Amino acid sequence: MSTDYVIVGAGSAGCAMAYRLSEAGRSVTIVESGGTDAGPFIQMPGALSYPMNMRRYDWGYTTEPEPHLGGRRLAAPRGRVIGGSSSINGMIYVRGHPLDYEHWADSGASGWSWSDVAPYFRRMENWHAGIHGGDAARRGHDGPLHVTRGKRDNPLVKAFVEAGREAGYGETKDYNGNRQEGFGPFDATIWKGRRWSAASAYLRPALKSGRVRMVRGEAARVVIEEGRATGVALGTGEVVQAGREVILSASAFNTPKLLMLSGIGPAAHLAELGIEVVADRPGVGSNLQDHLEMYIQYAATQPVSLFKYWSLLGKAYVGARWVLGRQGPGASNQFESAGFVRSRAGVRYPDIQYHFLPLAVRYDGKTAAEGHGFQCHVGPMRSPSRGNVRLTSADPAEAPSILFNYMAEEKDWEDFRRCIRLTREIVAQPAFDAFRGAEISPGTEAQTDDELDDVIREEVESAYHPCGTAKMGRRDDPGAVVDPDGRVIGLEGLRVADSSIFPRITNGNLNAPSIMAGEKIADAVLGRAPLPPEEDGWWEARDWQSRQRESDPVR
Gap between the Cα atoms of 413 and 325, Å rounded: 46
- CA–CA gap between residue 16 and residue 509 (Å, rounded): 18
CA 339 centroid distance within chain: 16
Task: Find the helix or strand (DSSP H, E) in which 118 lies.
Answer: helix 114-124
Query: Which burial class, exposed, middle or buried, applies to 71 when counting CB atoms under 10 A from its CB (0-12, 13-18, 19+)?
Result: exposed
Query: Residues near 8 by Cβ (< 8 Å), separated by ≥ 6?
Result: 14, 30, 31, 219, 232, 246, 247, 248, 249, 250, 255, 258
> What is the DSSP-derived secondary structure letter of residue 200?
I
CA angle 386-483-140, nearest 5°? 90
Question: Which neighbouring-strand residues pair with 215?
Answer: 31
Considering 103, 291, 355, 465, which one is annotated as catalytic? 465
The whole-angstrom distance between residue 424's C-alpha and the CA centroid of its chain comes to 26
The answer to whether the bond into 442 is cis (omega within 30° of 0) is yes
Active site residue 465: yes
Instruction: Please classify residue 153 by burial: count the beta carbons closer than 10 Å to its beta carbon, then call 0-12 exposed, 13-18 middle and 19+ buried.
Output: exposed
The Cα–Cα gap between 122 and 90 comes to: 21
Q: Which amino acid is at 44?
A: M
DSSP β-bridge partners for residue 289: 467
Q: What is the largest CA-CA distance in the chain?
A: 70
* Cβ pair 87, 104 in contact under 8 A: no
CB 205 within 8 A of CB 366: no
Helix ranges (DSSP H) in 392-547: 410-427, 449-459, 511-525
* Of 355, 373, 309, 376, residue with least CA distance to 91: 355
User: Are the beta carbons of 180 and 172 closer than 8 angstroms?
Assistant: yes
**Separation CA 34–CA 394 (nearest Å):** 22
Measured CA to CA, the distance from residue 392 to residue 40 in angstroms comes to 35
Catalytic residues: 465
